[in-house]
Amino acid sequence: MSSVVLSLSPAKVNLALSVSPPTQAGMHEIASWMVTTAFADELEVKRLPADRPSRFSIDWHEDARRRTDIDWPIRKDLAVRAHALLEQKLGGALPIQLRLRKRIPVGGGLGGGSSNAAAMLRALDALFDLRLRAEYLEAISRELGSDVPFLVRGGSALVEGTGERLTRVAMPIVHLVLVFPSVACPTGPVYHAFDRLRPDARLDAPRVRGLVDAGDLGAFRADMPFNDLADAACEVAPALCELRARAERIAQSPVHVSGSGSTLFIVCDSPIHAEALAGAIEMQCGVPAIATVTAPTPLEEVDGEPRAIGAPATLSDDED
């Protein structure tokens, strides 16, 4: 078995997000076009001797642009919970040492915690040579959160239901600026605001699929992304609305909200355009902004060599 895995944990962006009214169970179904980006956290996972307890370290990467207190109990962290979940499913200990170095802002609508959980599952699969199918990891990861199944493989997908229905679609090359406000948009209050603001809301999956088709044809434009939660996020955090308006004046282009906020994003024509715009927004608005691009989830580095998930499963079908 391998001794160390480096697993990159990419941020996701919702290029389109349609949301249903709450169901009788109080859940909201979605139709969303999600893509992963080159902006990522880093997990270094080392295998420990079988008689050693696992240990975990979480801190900010030295180049992280928006830092907040890491003040949650370690056992509540999604990467740590993913480790515990796979131990439970396999019925045995997987002793590791984790060092998680975060770049993705906490609670920014970029799926940072969910991506950390997905990266942990991939890292454990590689580290212990489990040879689990990606489909199996996606299935069990539903217990960790609605974004985690998509982020197991990342890339580009139409995500429906409560995250359990994934349709892989072509990855468009989209240059982006991500803007990191200092305000928070807690998911629960944003959905409550959405219910008040949009009592007549309906799920518009055809509109989302239309954007996917436009991206596949190379006709994706800066004004095409949409997000049913954008107005609700601005109501929860009015400063977000003000920043969005300022950024639009600088960009001379629509500025969009990812997920339930608070990260804003702008579609750019080229990497040069994205770099210049990120610098202008940072200078004039006084908030961190970075240039990035849509990208597939990188391969794990296992003892310095790349390795993909998805090898033939060692579990029987009825264990899925």
Reply yes or no on whether 89 is catalytic.
no
- Pairing assessment for the beta strands 55-60 and 96-102 based on DSSP bridges: parallel
Angle, helices 238-251/271-285, rounded to nearest 10 degrees: 130
What are the backbone dihedrals phi and psi of residue 248, each rounded to the nearest 5 degrees, phi first? -65, -35
Cis peptide before 141 (omega within 30 of 0): no
Amino acid at 137: L
Q: Is 81 left (phi over 0), alpha (psi -120 to 50) or beta?
A: alpha
Give the angle subtended at the CA of 111 by the CAs of 108 and 115, to the nearest 5°.
Answer: 140
Distance of CA 295 to the CA centre of its chain: 12
Residues with Cβ within 8 Å of residue 197, at least 6 apart in sequence? 231, 232, 235
Of 12, 102, 125, 228, the catalytic one is 12
Determine the residue type at 187.
T
Tokens 């959405």 locate to 194
Return the structure tokens found at 52. Answer: 């050693």
Backbone angles phi, psi at 285, to 5 degrees: -105, -15
Asked if 27 and 161 touch (Cβ cutoff 8 Å), the reply is no
Of residues 41, 77, 125, 147, which has the active-site annotation?
A: 147
- Catalytic residue status for 12: yes
Q: Residues with catalytic annotation?
A: 12, 147
